[in-house]
């Protein structure tokens, strides 16, 4: 297997000659991998994808695909399938003609075309829709046709730019699973762009988080969630409580951080954390548990209960704790034995390995 | 319990019918209000548009009231079979009528007779003068004026003008006429001009449409692709001609295209033509097509541009990502998607060109005049309202037919594009 099937080397891109929207991107994608580019709006995800597809040229750096540089290969010769956010099905063609289009462009024989079109439509479970117009299909159906059209010519790589953005939540979740299954079945490469983090986590082999044109972290979904590399990733992927403080002690990957109100938190030391340094401690709301008075856990604090919100399967508490106003705690409904009263003092705690100290930038 | 239900039902029903009545009343009032609001406009339209056009078109079938002017002749002619030699009864009837008819009415009639038999006008006026002093039997005085009065020839012309409604003008406009038996036949080739004018009108309009499309399509694409200031400047340049008088623009072409004009001078200076033999660019078909193309170009560009503006660039990217080279993605994706604009532009330009008058009149030669020129000629120069109206009818019908075809086409296109 080729570990560097797609490779971006020091790629930078500027549209106006003044500001870089992608700055120094180094990225390798292994063959068969499902990579998702995740990031807020305007962070450069689409631009990265467009450079790979051949619709934009890198201002600096080079991109190679399957070991060969593709900088000078025009988009129509790259043999990369692409699914666009609004599907971009040709409105003047039927579904069948749309799916046949890439085959026609490649000079495939008529009988072959009809065979491959119907098997592609079978694959996305849209057989029998050949003669419909795109406008006569629902959003999810159009999405599948777009998928069939991007896959029918058996490209090595399929790019998808927020392909599910226009669908409602239920359909989106359904299509996520279908795309995931197609990827597993066909063994092709997928580079997928989204700004929906749960989509990124559920579908991908690896996720690259973009912010401001910089790749902040690229990792498996698990690693991304458990070991965010910096404050941006910690805040962008999932929920995190953020408590600022100063490192007072560091030893064997664990450090002790003193918060402004004088408490001390034990946390896993993130990259570049030294003594002394200003850091923030991030801890996920669901990792915080209720503690009984007198428990001797490493991180155990008492705070005033500000708010309780009932969510059915879980309950959210907002505590005034460690000098921060809104520390969020997420408790499974089954863990609650007695009713809460607002203003009461609550004891909570978490394990040191469930929180990380990250350098404050 | 049961009682209660019925009561409620009854009550509900009553309420419902009151509601329905109220709604109907409100609707009626709204409708009346709407009618009252548009009434002035409707009246205006009827007075300035429908009535004048209607009356003009009616003129194409109006045959005057010769039967009222010559009542005895009308009766005698209806008894005549159109083949036999005319007998004294006809002569006496016409002479009697002419003695009583006012001079002005006879003059009008003479002019109308002239349409049916060229040269009949002065002869008929002479006859009318002579007959006033003649006595029975009348035949000799008639034959003295023109011996053809003894043949059916002039009587047939008289027969033609008797009915108050005629298809004579419409037939003439199509180079057709009624022969001796009343059947429709072609006019002799020497007098057949209208079909040629019609064909010329269509040819010129079609060439102008094609030229406008060839020039306008790339320009529209350029404007649709440009952004910001560049796009605005281009749009203004396209619209600029609208703010200049048509006459000025046409005259400008005269300056540019004449034999010692700018174009010929530049070509000669470049050594591409012999200065002694300048190109004939004006007072011929070339000049007409060039000037009309320039004037009608905006009507091609604007509809195409507005359709192109609505096509997101993502379709072209999609085509490229699927392996289409630039040429195939243009012909298979872009062009079909711009077809509604293309057909609208072509229709608009073609219809406008069909009725063009000033430009061909100024920059065309005598053999480049289109149907409008002849309508104006019949209406203004020879005051033959019948022919002017008949040609107008033909122009109107041509436009309507085109419109129907377009509706069909665009209907189909809408379906395709959905
Ligand atoms: N064609 C262009 N010309 C100029 N600037 C552009 C162009 N396309 C994108 N940009 C700019 O580049 C930056 C990155 O845009 P990009 O489309 O890559 O963001 P994105 O991560 O895909 O965002 P989103 O989630 O909103 O789609 C933005 O600031 C955008 O304004
Ligand atoms: Mg984007």
CATH for B326: 1.10.3720.10
Residue A135: list chain B partners with CB under 8 A: 417-418
Tell if the CB–CB gap between B322 and A92 is shorter than 8 Å: no
- Alpha-carbon gap: B211 to the closest alpha carbon of chain A (Å): 26
**Domain carrying residue B271:** 194-415
Interchain CB distance below 8 Å, A53 and B333: no
| Co-location of B43 and B101 in the same domain | no
- For the cut 90, the answer to whether the pLDDT of residue B319 exceeds it is yes
Inform me whether the C-beta atom of residue A102 falls under 8 Å from chain B C-beta atoms.
yes
Q: Give A132's contacts in chain B (Cβ within 8 Å).
A: none
Confirm whether B182 is domain-assigned.
no
Dump pLDDT digits (tens) for A202-221: 999 999 999 999 999 999 99
Whether B30 is in a domain gets the answer yes
In a domain, B180, yes or no: no
Q: Return the percentage of chain B with pLDDT > 90, whole number.
A: 37
Flag whether pLDDT at A292 surpasses 60: yes
Residues B230 and B375 in one domain: yes
For the segment B152-173, what is each residue's pLDDT rounded down to a tens digit? 888 888 888 888 888 889 999 9
Relative orientation angle of helices B335-354 and B285-309, to the nearest 10 degrees: 140
CA A20 to ligand 1 centroid distance, Å: 11
Share of chain B above pLDDT 70, in %: 94
Using a 6 Å CB cutoff, which residues line ligand 1?
A 15, 21, 39, 41-47, 195
> How does the average pLDDT of chain A come out, rounded?
87
Q: What angle do CA B79, B81, B86 make, to 5 degrees?
A: 85
Question: What confidence score (pLDDT) does residue B2 get?
Answer: 45
**Is residue B207 predicted with pLDDT exceeding 90?**
yes
Domain shared by B140 and B282, yes or no: no
Same domain, B202 and B294: yes
Instruction: Give A17's DSSP letter.
Output: S
**CB atoms A105 and B323 under 8 Å:** yes
Q: Is residue B334 part of a domain?
A: yes
Residue B137's alpha-carbon distances to B84, B91, B145, B334, in angstroms, are 19, 8, 15, 84
Q: Mean pLDDT over residues B259-281, rounded? A: 88
> Which ipTM score applies to this complex?
0.81
A56 CA: nearest ligand 1 atom: 1
Do both B289 and B395 map to the same domain?
A: yes
Q: Which residues in chain B have their CB less than 8 angstroms from residue A88's CB? A: 312, 314-315, 317-318
Judgement on whether residues B383 and B340 belong to the same structural domain of the protein: yes
Tens of pLDDT, residue by residue over B336-372, are: 999 989 988 998 899 999 988 889 998 988 888 999 9
Assigned domain for B172 exists: no
In a domain, B49, yes or no: yes
Residues 6+ apart with CB under 8 A from B410: B340, B343, B344
Identify any residues that bridge with A299 across adjacent strands, giving them in sequence order. A350
Average pLDDT score over residue span B253-271: 89
CA–CA dist B293, B250 (Å, integer): 11
Q: What CA–CA distance (Å, rounded) separates B131 from B70?
A: 14
CA of A85 to the centre of ligand 1 (A): 14
- Rounded Cα distance between A316 and A330, Å, is 5
Q: Does B328 touch chain A (CB under 8 A)?
A: yes
Among B148, B166, B184, the domain-final residue is B166
Rounded to an integer, the average pLDDT of A240-251 is 86
Chain A nearest-CA residue for B317? A55
Whether A55 contacts chain B with CB within 8 A: yes
Residue B310 distance to chain A (closest CA, Å): 13
In a mutagenesis test of the B interface, which of A55, A83, A101, A159 is the best target, namely the one with the most B β-carbons within 10 Å? A101
Identify the residue whose C-alpha is closest to ligand 1 atom 29: A42
| Strand-pair category, A34-38 with A206-211 | parallel
Could you tell me if A15 lies within 8 Å of chain B, comparing CB atoms?
Answer: no
Would you call B227 exposed, middle or buried from its count of C-beta atoms within 10 A (0-12, 13-18, 19+)? Answer: exposed
**Whether the predicted pLDDT of A294 surpasses 80:** no
Determine the pLDDT at residue B413: 52
* Structural domains of chain A, ranges and CATH numbers in brackets: 4-232 (3.40.50.300), 242-359 (2.40.50.100)
Ligand 1: which residue has its CA nearest to atom 6?
A15
Residue A273: pLDDT over 80: no
User: Above 80 in pLDDT, residue A337?
Assistant: no
Ligand 1 atom nearest to CA at A40:
25
- Could you tell me the CA-to-CA distances from A296 to A287, A346, A347, A348, A349 in Å, in that order? 17, 15, 12, 11, 10
Which chain B residue shows the shortest CA-CA distance from A151? B322
- Taking the C-alpha atoms of residue B405 and residue B347, their distance in angstroms, rounded to an integer, is 10
From the candidates A75, A113, A145, which should be mutated to test the interface with B, based on the most B CB atoms within 10 A? A75
Higher-confidence position of A228 and A2: A228
Average pLDDT over every residue of A127-153: 90
Cβ-proximal residues to B9 (8 Å cutoff; 6+ apart), any chain: none
User: Mind listing the pLDDT tens digit for each residue in A25-40?
Assistant: 999 999 989 999 999 9
Q: Provide the number of structural domains found in chain B.
A: 3
> Tens digits of per-residue pLDDT, A32-70?
899 999 999 989 999 999 999 999 999 999 999 988 899
- What percent of chain A clears pLDDT 90, i.e. is strictly above it? 37
B317 close to A (CB below 8 A): yes
Chain B CB within 8 Å of residue A105 CB: yes
Looking at chain B, which residue has its C-alpha nearest residue A76?
Answer: B323
**Candidate from A16, A38, A45 with most ligand 1 atoms within 8 A of CB, to mutate:** A45
How sure is the predictor about B302, in pLDDT bands with cuts at 50, 70 and 90? very high
Domain shared by B259 and B384, yes or no: yes
Termini Cα distance of chain B: 56
Residue B417 clears pLDDT 50, i.e. is over it: no
How many residue contacts between A and B have a Cβ separation below 8 Å?
A: 73
Residues B392 and B343 in one domain: yes
Instruction: Give the residue-averaged pLDDT of B46-72.
Output: 89
pLDDT digits (tens, 9 = 90+) for B92-132: 888 888 888 888 988 988 988 888 888 889 988 998 888 88
- Rounded Cα distance, B372 and B395, in Å: 9
Ligand 2 centre distance from Cα of residue A41 (Å): 7
User: Does one domain contain both B39 and B70?
Assistant: no
Same domain, B130 and B278: no
pLDDT recorded at residue B8: 47
Quick one: B407 and B315 in the same domain?
Answer: yes
Residues 311-350 of A with CB under 8 A from B: none
Query: Can you give the pTM of this predicted structure?
Result: 0.77
Band of pLDDT at residue A296, cut at 50, 70 and 90: low
| Long-range contacts of the stretch B275-283 (C-beta < 8 A, 24+) | B281/B257, B282/B253, B282/B254, B282/B257, B282/B258, B282/B363, B283/B363, B283/B364, B283/B365
Highest mean pLDDT among A286-300, A311-325, B111-125: B111-125
* Domain presence at residue B331: yes
Q: How far apart (Å, rounded) are the C-alpha atoms in residues B377 and A116? A: 67
Instruction: Sort B289 into a burial class: Cβ within 10 Å, 0-12 / 13-18 / 19+.
Output: buried
Measured in Å, residue A232 CA sits from the centre of ligand 1 at 19
The SS3 of residue A98 is: helix
Q: Give the residue, out of A44, A51, A196, with the most ligand 1 atoms within 8 A of its beta carbon, to mutate for a pocket test.
A: A44
3-state secondary structure chain B: CHHHHHHHHHHHHHHHHHHHHHHHHHHHHHHHHHHHHHHHHHHHHHHHHHHHHHHHHHHCCECCCHHHHCHHHHHHHHHCCCCCCCCHHHHHHHHHHHHHCCHHHHHHHHHHHHHHCCCHHHHHHHHHHHHCCCCCCCHHHHHHHCHHHHCCHHHHHHHHHCCCECCHHHHHHCCEEECCCCCEEECCHHHCCHHHHHHHHHHHHHHHHHHHHHHHHHHHHHHHHCCHHHHHHHHHHHHHHHHCCHHHHHHHHHHHHCCCCHHHHHHHHCCCCCCCCCCCCCCCHHHHHHHHHHHHHHHHHHHHHHHHHCCCCHHHHHHHHCCCCHHHHHHHHHHHHHHHHHHHHHHHHHHHHHCCCHHHHHHCCHHHCCHHHHHHHHHHHCCCHHHHHHHHHHHHHHHHHHHHHHHHHHHHHHHHHC
Who's near A274: CB < 8 A, 6+ residues apart?
A247, A250
Residue B1's pLDDT band, with cuts at 50, 70 and 90, is very low
Cα–Cα distance between B86 and A20 in angstroms, integer? 102
Residue B10's pLDDT is what? 52
**Quick check: A81 contacting B, CB < 8 Å?**
yes
For B208-251, the pLDDT digits (tens) are 999 999 999 999 999 999 988 999 999 999 888 888 888 898 88
DSSP letter at A31 equals T
**Contact list, B312 vs chain A (CB under 8 Å):** 86, 88
Report the alpha-carbon distance of residue B185 to residue B178 in Å, rounded: 6
How far apart, in whole angstroms, are the C-alpha atoms of residue B174 and residue B197? 10
User: Are B228 and B277 in the same domain?
Assistant: yes
Calculate how close chain B gets to A103, using CA atoms only, in Å: 8
**Residue B25 resides in a domain:** yes
């Amino acid at each position: 297997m080729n570990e560097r099937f797609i490779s971006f080397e020091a790629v930078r891109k500027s549209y106006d000659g003044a500001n870089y929207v992608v700055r120094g991107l180094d990225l390798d994608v292994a063959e068969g991998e499902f990579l998702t580019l995740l990031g807020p709006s305007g962070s450069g995800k689409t631009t990265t994808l467009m450079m790979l597809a051949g619709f934009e040229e890198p201002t600096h750096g080079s991109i190679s695909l399957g070991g060969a540089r593709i900088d000078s290969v025009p988009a129509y010769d790259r043999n990369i399938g692409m699914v666009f956010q609004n599907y971009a099905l040709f409105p003047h063609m039927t579904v069948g003609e749309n799916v046949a289009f890439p085959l026609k462009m490649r000079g495939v024989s008529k009988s072959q075309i009809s065979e491959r079109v119907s098997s592609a439509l079978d694959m996305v479970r849209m057989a029998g829709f050949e003669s419909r117009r795109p406008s006569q299909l629902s959003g999810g159906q159009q999405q599948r046709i777009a998928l069939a059209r991007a896959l029918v010519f058996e490209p090595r790589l399929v790019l998808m730019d927020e392909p599910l953005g226009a669908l409602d939540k239920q359909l989106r979740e359904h299509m996520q699973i279908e795309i995931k299954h197609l990827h597993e079945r066909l063994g092709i490469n997928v580079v997928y762009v989204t700004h929906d983090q749960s989509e990124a986590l559920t579908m991908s082999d690896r996720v690259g988080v973009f912010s401001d044109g910089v790749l902040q972290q690229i990792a498996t979904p698990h690693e991304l969630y458990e070991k965010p590399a910096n404050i941006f990733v910690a805040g962008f992927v999932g929920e995190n409580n953020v408590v600022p403080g100063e490192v007072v002690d560091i030893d064997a990957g664990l450090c002790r951080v003193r918060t402004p109100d004088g408490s001390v938190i034990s946390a896993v030391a993130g990259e570049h954390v030294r003594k002394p340094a200003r850091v923030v401690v991030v801890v996920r709301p669901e990792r915080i548990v209720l503690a009984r008075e007198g428990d001797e856990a490493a991180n155990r604090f008492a705070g005033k209960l500000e708010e309780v919100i009932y969510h059915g399967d879980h309950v959210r508490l907002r505590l005034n704790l460690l000098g921060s106003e809104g520390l969020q705690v997420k408790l499974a409904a089954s863990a609650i034995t007695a009713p809460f009263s607002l203003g009461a003092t609550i004891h909570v705690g978490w394990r040191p390995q469930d929180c990380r100290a990250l350098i404050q930038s | 319990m049961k009682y209660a239900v019925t009561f409620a039902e009854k009550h509900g029903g009553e309420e419902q019918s009151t509601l329905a009545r109220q709604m109907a009343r409100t609707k009626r009032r709204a409708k009346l209000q709407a009618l009252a609001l548009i009434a002035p406009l409707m009246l205006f339209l009827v007075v300035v548009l429908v009535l004048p056009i209607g009356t003009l078109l009616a003129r194409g079938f109006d045959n005057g009231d010769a039967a009222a002017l010559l009542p005895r002749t009308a009766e005698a002619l209806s008894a005549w079979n159109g083949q036999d030699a005319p007998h004294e009864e006809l002569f006496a009837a016409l002479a009697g009528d002419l003695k009583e008819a006012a001079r002005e009415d006879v003059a009008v009639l003479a002019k109308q007779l002239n349409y049916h038999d060229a040269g009949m006008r002065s002869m008929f006026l002479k006859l009318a003068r002579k007959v006033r002093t003649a006595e029975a039997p009348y035949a000799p005085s008639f034959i003295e004026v023109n011996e053809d009065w003894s043949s059916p020839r002039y009587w047939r012309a008289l027969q033609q003008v008797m009915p108050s409604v005629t298809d004579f003008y419409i037939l003439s406009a199509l180079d057709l006429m009624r022969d001796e038996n009343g059947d429709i036949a072609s006019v002799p080739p020497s007098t057949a001009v209208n079909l040629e004018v019609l064909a010329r009108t269509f040819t010129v309009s079609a060439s102008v449409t094609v030229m406008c499309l060839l020039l306008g399509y790339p320009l529209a694409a350029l404007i649709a692709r440009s952004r910001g200031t560049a796009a605005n400047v281009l749009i203004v340049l396209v619209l600029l001609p609208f703010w200049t008088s048509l006459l000025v623009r046409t005259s400008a072409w005269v300056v540019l295209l004449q034999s010692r004009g700018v174009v010929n001078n530049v070509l000669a200076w470049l050594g591409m033509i012999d200065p002694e033999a300048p190109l004939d660019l004006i007072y011929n078909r070339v000049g007409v097509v060039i000037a009309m193309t320039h004037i009608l170009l905006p009507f091609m560009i604007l509809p195409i541009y507005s359709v192109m503006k609505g096509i997101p660039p993502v379709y072209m990217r999609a085509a490229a990502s699927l392996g289409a080279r630039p040429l195939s993605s243009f012909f298979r994706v872009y062009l079909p998607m711009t077809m509604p604009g293309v057909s609208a532009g072509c229709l608009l330009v073609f219809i406008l060109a069909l009725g063009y008058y000033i430009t061909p009149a100024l920059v065309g030669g005598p053999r480049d005049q289109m149907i409008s020129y002849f309508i104006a000629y019949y209406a203004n120069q020879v005051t033959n309202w019948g022919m002017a109206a008949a040609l107008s009818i033909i122009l109107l019908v041509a436009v309507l037919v085109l419109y129907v075809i377009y509706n069909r086409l665009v209907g189909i296109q809408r379906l395709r594009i959905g």
